[in-house]
Amino acid sequence: MPIPTPEQMTKLFALFLTKGPIWTSEETPELSKLQVMHVEYQILLRKSGKTLLVGPLLDDGEIRGITVFKVNSEQEVKNLIDEDPAVKAGVLSYHFHPWMVEKDALAVIF
């Protein structure tokens, strides 16, 4: 199999949402409302074309979810995720990495 050429590649950003400084597994009305706002914001990012994949992880680990951004810069990722209500509240934190993938890998496979 040939090595992909630069034209066959695209740069994305893989973001990992982690437990923030005020994370708690306790369920309260305030946290439930914040969770709804967080999900609504993630849907808005996806519908705007800024993200390709978004979803929670199903274990109870430190990493709570993964988002794949399709934006132009690291600063844009930072600006967008810093507006997430759960990040702003300190319930979630994040780290992200530039990620080079083959364009064909983005095709829906299921």
pLDDT digits (tens, 9 = 90+) for 26-65: 999 999 999 999 999 999 999 999 999 999 999 989 999 9
* CATH architecture of the domain covering 7-106: 2-Layer Sandwich (3.30)
Domain ranges of the chain: 7-106
- C-alpha dist (Å) from residue 1 to 10, 25, 44, 72, 104: 19, 47, 38, 29, 14
Look at the block and give the residue holding tokens 């706002």.
Answer: 37
Q: How high is the mean pLDDT of the chain?
A: 93
Query: Which pLDDT belongs to residue 35?
Result: 96
77 touches 96 (CB < 8 A): yes
| Dist. CA 48–CA 13, nearest whole Å | 16
**Half-sphere exposure (CA, 13 Å, Cβ side) for 80?**
25
Model-level pTM? 0.90
Query: Which pLDDT belongs to residue 110?
Result: 45
| Dist. CA 91–CA 50, nearest whole Å | 22
